[in-house]
Amino acid sequence: MTSFPSTIVEAGAALRAGELTSVELIRTVLARADKIDADLGCFLARFDDDALSAAATADAELAAGTDRGPLHGIPLGIKDLLAAREGPTTAHSLVPSRVAPPGVDAEAVARLRDRGAVIVGKTSLSEYALGAPDPDAGLPLPRNPWDREHWPGGSSSGTASGLAAGLFLGGLGTDTGGSIRIPAACCGITGLKPTYGRVSKSRCIPLAYSLDTVGPMARTAEDCAVLLQVISGQASNDATSADEPVPNYISALTGDLSGVRVGVERVHHGTQVGADPEVVARVEEAVKDLERAGAIVEEITIEHRQIADAATRVIMHTEAFTQHRPTLRDRWHDYGPFTRLLLTHGAFLSASDYVQAQRVRSLVRAEVKQLLKRVDVIVTPTVGVPAPRLDADFVALMPLFFTGVWNLTGNPALSLPVGPVRGLPVGMQIVGRPFAEATVLRVGDAYQRRTDWHRRRPEERDDARSDAPDHA
């Protein structure tokens, strides 16, 4: 091979062509982690011996003609909210969790492993998927590989950072208010929050049960489709998983958007709400690329957009406080200060607040349903600013995370990179109808066939627009 593969699809082709073995692949990513992860903070636990053993098994199976599919022999990182049989699930906290007995996988992890994927480790996150970076906790501090003084996004920090840095080729995150899409935007990778119920949450530590989702993270929409194909579908041990047919996501990636209707929401996502004008400009340029691929673009407005954010926060904080109330009482000082602050917001919300938030949820769902009769997808920025510094005021930045409304409604939403702003990646968000992940991924893949932002690596930082891909 002329270069080391950077995507799942490329690595799979190399494995089947005999240009690379899974053992070589795993050794390479582990060696890279040895070199940079002490500074980057992507891993909470590494499973080097188990990963190399699984890779050797994958090589032997492929040599014998047993092919488990596109993930066979591929290294993946798993957010440490999801159980993996190699070790405990910590949620990046000093407060112990009992999400699963030892030696048991989360449903999504088990499905990946059954298809031959190699789990190289558990990745770092915001504490219990809610806190901010806490340098005093004595745990790894996740950093952005594009600039280590900046946040990699949260809460699925380590999965996004590790993908960008080349420590694995795909992974799993969770998303309650943007926790897959925000780090995807901050780190310049691709991440999908599926429809609520599309992927089982079995043996995943909950944050807010009516908002939580598990989803794929990778360099490309195509790789996310490969991962989603495996982890989707109803699970008997998860009452929230949906009994919906799982289409062929990969075959939907045609590269052609002829006739696809794209609604661009500008009113609540532009400079009038504090978004960086350069971020908005990057997204607008990406929208032009969608038009060049055949899409029909029109402007839309989500009338109740701002109250939707408030309702999302009320539901999240109420459900999270309910989940953590016993351990907050008994282990208060073991939680990080920012995590304690956010969790205890729920103590000041009433049953009436929660009911009113659910009423708003019904209102916004109905509004979005009507909009998605006019258009096939809705496009917005993912985050209104590039990745903030680690010492930023994260509470003040929350209005610029344009993600939580889609947890409120349950719609699928994809973030993918659309170029740098001041040396840091920024993302575009593509939202679809419930269980229409195939359409969302098709739009994302068509954009990525015309651009190469998803292939840029941290060592290739460049703000010059003259270096942008040819859009002709």
State the catalytic residues.
79, 155, 179
Residue pair 424/153 in contact by the 8 Å Cβ criterion: no
351: buried, middle or exposed (CB in 10 Å: 19+, 13-18, 0-12)?
exposed
d(CA 40, CA 37): 5
Q: Which of 94, 86, 114 is nearest to 331 (CA)?
A: 94
| Contact between 129 and 88 (Cβ < 8 Å) | no
Compute the C-alpha angle 244/247/253, nearest 5°. 145
Triad 314, 317, 323: Cα angle to 5°:
135
CB 126 within 8 A of CB 207: no
Q: How far apart are CA 432 and CA 224, in angstroms?
A: 15
Cα→Cα distances 464→94, 111, 276, 422, 449, Å: 43, 42, 17, 9, 21
Inter-residue contact 292 to 450 (CB < 8 Å)? yes
Class of residue 24 by CB neighbours under 10 A (exposed 0-12, middle 13-18, buried 19+) = middle
DSSP 3-state of 46: strand
Q: Are strands 424-432 and 413-421 parallel, antiparallel or unpaired?
A: antiparallel
Joined together, the tokens standing for residue 334 give 């073991």
* SS3 label, residue 94: coil
148, 161 contact by CB (below 8 A): no
